[in-house]
Amino acid sequence: MPTTVTTPPQPPAFQDHVGDISRYRRLHEVMAAAAAAHPDKPAIIHDGGRISFSAMMTGSAELAKHFDAWGIRPGDRLLIVCENAPALIGALLAASRRDVWAIPLNARLTAAEVDRIADHAGARRILYTTAVSAEARAHADRAGAAPVDLGVFGMAMLSPLAETVVPEPVEDDPAAQVAALVYTTGTTGAPKGVMITHANLLRVAETSGRGRHITADDVVYAVLPMSHIFGLSSVMTGSLMRAATLRLAPRFDPDAVFAALADEGVTMFQGVPAMYQRMLAVLKSRGIDRIARPRLRYCSAGGSPLDPAVKAAAERLMGTALHNGYGLTETTSAVSQTTPHEPATDDTVGRALPGMAVKVVDDQDRDLPDGAVGRLWVRSVGVMKGYYRAPDLTAEVMRPGGWFDTGDLARIERGLIYIAGRSKELIIRSGFNVYPPEVEAVLNAHPDVAQSAVVGRSVPGNEEVVAFVQPVPGRRLTAQDLTAWVADRLAPYKRPAEFVILDMLPATATGKVLKAQLKMQAVRH
């Protein structure tokens, strides 16, 4: 029988000040509820100090007035070239107050990428978080930006006004009004901006936050870039709306994480698998297998496949279950996650979150039975409004009945979701399906491998497997070592035809490996 899984709604829990999420029309309103309940509690801790919830809300109201003076109108698009900083959070809340579309954009993008997105979005102005980012400062200088004082949120720089842009209509309905325009990473060609509404952001953040049991007692280490949907939705919004404290970190650094876990009362750490792999590799290179983490109670990974070997090693290091999850920019991050009530011992990404439905279909869009691998479809409160200025692209992924075609391959067993990989990354070798995460899991289990990435390469009449491997710092690794390692662990058709050893795999700011670059490199080899 076909498998369609819908997790039933669960009653609100944990923070009474949140209550019924449907009563909030805008992002800043739920933050105001947190501030009313915990006015003097730190909302933000950063390297330069701390900002209370009441100061955050008062400061965002003042910043909204600056928007008026700067000519930023309701419906305008404000690009924020950023790394995690108080200025970014202040700008997001001020944008909410004025019905401005916020566009958080990672400062480490190239000048050409920033310009292309600014042009596509029709940005009225660009704000740069120069206080924490040399890259943001370089972009600001190139644009002729001027310094601006954001009050409690610190200093930043602001571009000249784009006089000719036209604002978008303002919608009273939170399910129609865009809160953030998030541009997806790792794409080529024209920019693809995902329209995330206030309802998308609030409902998904509330549901996923409830599943993580976030409370006002938590201190959340916020290193996932808030220019990415994982950091924006799950980390920032999901934490602050429940009055947890964000410990902001502009960039991932293993030693900074170790220090925060040991000395700063961090209770929650959310990352991507590559962050855990890097922490493990650093400690392994130093001959250390333990760290101090007296208050840590929750860890999770998302954004890319989590193989069992990394999960097990990270759990030993962190002293708690490493929860796994799945989501996309187009679904406002979380679709599913494992929970403290149901931790996993394998590589499942958990059950669909309450109120969300998932199913697996074949190439003809026909429902598949339990356990069969096919394309994963999602229907949820987090599904985007659409791609900005790209109705044709939107139509390609939206299906009748409100279903969104993720483009990912998955199977569902007993209500648990297992991701097999991207449908576009599936390798068909001699008629057999090869799923890259399976091969990567075997390679990552090698004691001298920090991380790996597997791609397909076309050859006459067939496709072959190419593996890119990053060694643990200080370890020597050869293709012969890896050939011997996989010989007894993978079927012949799954074994890489070539191993390419790199000091560092190319990755986005979140640590997600850029497989498109590696696929191009595989062709050249």
Q: How far apart are CA 174 and CA 199, in angstroms?
A: 5
Same domain for 232 and 212: yes
- Let me know if residue 336 belongs to a domain: yes
338 shares a domain with 319: yes
For residue 85, what is the domain's CATH number? Answer: 3.40.50.980
Bridge partners (DSSP) listed for residue 464: 457
Q: How confident is the model at residue 190, as a pLDDT?
A: 63
- Per 3-state DSSP, the chain is made up of helix, strand and coil in percentages (nearest 5) of 35, 30, 40
Is residue 193 one of the residues assigned to a domain?
A: no
Name the domain boundary from 397, 423, 449: 423
pLDDT at 507: 86
413 and 458 fall within a common domain = no
Matching residue, tokens 């009273």: 172
Q: Residue 493 gets which letter from DSSP?
A: G
186 part of a folded domain = no
CATH number assigned to the domain comprising residue 486: 3.30.300.30
Shared domain for 324 and 373, answered yes or no, is yes
Name residues whose C-beta falls within 8 Å of residue 187's C-beta, 6 or more positions apart in sequence. none
Strand, helix or coil for residue 82: strand
Residue in the structure block whose two tokens are 């979150």: 353
Tally of structural domains, the chain: 3
171, 188, 220: which is the final residue of a domain? Answer: 171
382, 405, 423 — which closes off a domain? 423
Give just the sign of the alpha carbon dihedral 270, 85, 127, 208. positive
- Provide the CATH number for the domain around residue 289: 3.40.50.12780
Q: Do 446 and 414 lie in a common domain? A: no
The structure's pTM equals: 0.85
Q: What angle do CA 178, 183, 186 make, to 5 degrees?
A: 160
What is the model's pLDDT at position 294? 96
- Do 212 and 339 fall into the same domain? yes
Q: How buried is 208 (Cβ within 10 angstroms: 0-12 exposed, 13-18 middle, 19+ buried)?
A: buried
Task: Flag whether 361 is in a domain.
Answer: yes
325 & 409 share domain: yes
Whether residue 80 contacts residue 94, with contact meaning beta carbons closer than 8 Å, is answered with no
- 22, part of any domain: no
Q: Do 474 and 409 share a domain, yes or no?
A: no
User: In terms of domains, do 308 and 378 share one?
Assistant: yes
CA distance 232 to 249: 14
Q: Is position 401 within any domain?
A: yes
Q: Tell me if residue 115 falls in helix, strand or coil.
A: helix
Q: DSSP secondary-structure letter at 339?
A: B
Domain of 325 in residue numbering reads as: 200-423
Provide the residue-wise pLDDT of the chain in tens; the chain has 525 residues. 455 655 544 434 445 688 889 999 999 999 999 999 999 999 999 999 999 999 999 999 999 999 999 999 999 999 999 999 999 999 999 999 999 999 999 998 888 889 999 999 999 999 999 999 999 999 999 999 999 999 999 999 999 999 999 999 999 999 999 999 999 854 345 679 999 999 999 999 999 999 899 999 999 999 999 999 999 999 999 999 999 999 999 999 999 999 999 999 999 999 988 889 889 989 999 999 899 999 999 999 987 778 788 899 999 999 999 999 999 999 999 999 999 888 898 989 999 999 899 999 999 999 999 999 999 999 999 999 999 999 999 999 999 999 999 999 999 999 999 998 877 788 988 777 788 888 998 999 999 999 999 999 988 878 899 999 999 999 999 999 999 999 989 888 899 999 999 999 998 777 778 888 898 888 766
In this predicted structure, what is the pLDDT of residue 503? 93
